[in-house]
Structures are given as structure tokens and as C-alpha cells.
Amino acid sequence: MVFTACFIAIAVVNPLFIWSDLSAYVAYVQKNNQTLKYVAQACMLLFGPLYVLMLNSVHDYASGEKKTLSRAALAFAVVFGTLIGIHYFVQLSAVRWNVDRGHLDGIEQFVQSKPDSSCRLSICWDGRCFSACPLY
């Protein structure tokens, strides 16, 4: 609920940001309050382990013939939790600190707002794909 409330508040409070380049991103971050964004990212950082715990509970309650499927779902959940945890840890630590300090060399590939950043494409989307695997 906190995650959803943060993103609704971000949409209401801050103007929409559309990626053009790193300098525009830095100007946007410096001009607009980022507290709700960081709270939402922290919620996602906590969501990974909680998702693993939830699927572990599903595995514990699964009947004998469903244990193999629930174990596979749990394995995918562990991969999801790890990848999402890495992604949001990088966003909350390295990206935030470097942007705040003006150390921008090499940080562009890690900024979540950049549509083709390597961090977003590889870690974040792979994690989301793994989270969807237990549904099939």
C-alpha cells in the first residue's frame, strides 16, 4: 500500500519526467522533492525478500503432488528477489549519492529513469520476468 500511495503522490506532486539526457535528469532531481521516490524504492527493496517468504509459505502448504511446482516457483522467487534487491540497492545508494555529489561520470547506465540503461534492462526486467514465471 505504501508503494502504491507513493507513486500516486509522486504523480500528483511532481511534474512528469521524460528522459532526454543525464543533465536534464540531474536538474529534475535537484528541482523536485525525491523523498517519495526513495520511499517507494525502499519498499521495492523490501518486497523481494517478502515475496520469497510468501512463496515459501505457499510451498509449505502445497500438497504432495504440487511440491515440485511450488519449489520451482520458490527458485524463481529467489532469483527475482536477488535481482530486484540489487537493482534498488544500486538506485538508493550509488545513483542517489553520485547524483547528489555531482559525480556523474559513468552513472548514466545505472539511472533507472533512462529507458535503455543497462541496469534497468538487465537486472530489473530480468527480475520481473522471473517473478512472472511462477504464474505459468
Q: Is the pLDDT of residue 132 over 70?
A: no
- 84 within 8 A of 44, measured Cβ to Cβ: yes
- Cα gap 55→78, rounded to integer Å: 9
Please state the domain count of the chain.
Answer: 1
**H/E run at residue 47:** helix 35-61
* pLDDT tens digits, 74-94: 888 898 888 888 889 999 999
Half-sphere exposure of 26 (CA within 13 A, CB side): 15
In this prediction, residue 28 carries a pLDDT of 95
**H/E run at residue 65:** none
- Cα gap 72→78, rounded to integer Å: 10
* pLDDT tens digits, 25-74: 999 999 999 999 999 999 989 988 998 999 899 889 988 888 888 898 88
- Cα gap 133→56, rounded to integer Å: 15
Domain that holds residue 8: 2-135
In this prediction, residue 80 carries a pLDDT of 84
How many Cβ atoms from other residues are within 10 Å of residue 115's Cβ?
A: 9
